[in-house]
Each structure stands twice: as structure tokens, then as C-alpha cells.
Amino acid sequence: MLSLESLPFDPVYFLLALGTAAVGVLALVGAGRAPHMRGLIRTAGALLVVRAVVDVSWYVWMLTYTPDGSGLGGLMAVTSLHSLLSTLLVITAVVLLLIAIITGARRAARPAAAPGNRWNPPGGAPGPSWHSGGGSGPVGGPGA
């Protein structure tokens, strides 16, 4: 029977990296259908994909160069850098997605102005005669 101890790698680690990459790809694909903040969503998706690539490449490097313990010095130096980079990528992606969600919710909650409800400047909207030079316009304007 096959057990996790007999495998030269941890499949759970790769499954988690695959899940992170899948969420990143979903964000990249879903950004095209988003009404607002497409750039933030695409950036967050790309960061999650990069994080998955960094995690898998670090794990493969660890398996390749340290099976006999010969590269442990380099591994210890890179482990803290890997942890920091991986954490920063995830935090940045989550913050970008939260900003996109909050901003999108605020825009959706705000009622859209009807086409006929335009803002009129003080004193009413100027008519065509004001622009054409005839009629009564503002004091000192083209129709004065």
C-alpha cells in the first residue's frame, strides 16, 4: 500500500499550491467580466499564480539539493526569504481583492442617474441662443 511517508515529496503541499494557482487563474479569468477594478483583480490573480510558482519551485529546489543534507546551509538562508516572499504575495493579493470588492459594492449601491436627470448649473441651463450669440445670455456674454 502507498503511504505518504514512502513518497519523496508531500502531495498536500503541491495540492495547496495548485489550489492557490487555481484561485489566481479564476481571478484572472473573472476580471474580464468584472464591471469595475479589472486591473486590481488581474494583479491579485497574477500575484497568486506567482506565489504558487514560487512555492513549488522552492519545494522542488529543497527536494533536489537537500536529500542528503548537503545543502542545508543554503536552504536555511533561503527558507526565511521564501516565507517572507510567499506571505507578502498572499497578503498583497488579498488586500487588492478586498479593495476591489469593497469599491465594487459601493459603486453598485450608488443609484445611477437617469438619462434625463442631468445637473443644471445655477440660474438654469443655458439655451441654444446663448451659444449662437442671439437672445439673452449671461451679462457680458455673447448675447449681451
- Whole-number pLDDT of residue 134: 52
**Residue of higher predicted confidence among 132 and 61:** 61
Query: Across residues 8-28, what is the average pLDDT?
Result: 84
Return the pLDDT at 46: 93
**Residue 65: count of CB within 10 angstroms of its CB:** 14
**pLDDT tens string 23-54:** 999 988 888 887 778 888 899 999 999 999 98
C-alpha distances in Å from residue 3, one per residue of 7, 34, 63, 105, 113: 7, 44, 18, 47, 63
Share of the chain above pLDDT 90, in %: 18
Residue 4 has pLDDT above 60, yes or no: no
The three cell numbers locating residue 75: 536552504
**Which three cell numbers mark 72?**
542545508
| Cα separations in angstroms, 87 against 47, 52, 119, 122, 134 | 11, 11, 48, 54, 68
Whether the Cβ atoms of residue 48 and residue 92 lie closer than 8 Å to each other = no
Q: What is the pLDDT of residues 49-71, one digit of tens each?
A: 999 998 888 887 777 766 565 65
83 vs 31, 38, 48, 78, 99, CA distance in Å?
28, 28, 14, 9, 24
Average pLDDT, the chain: 74
Would you state the pLDDT for residue 118? 57
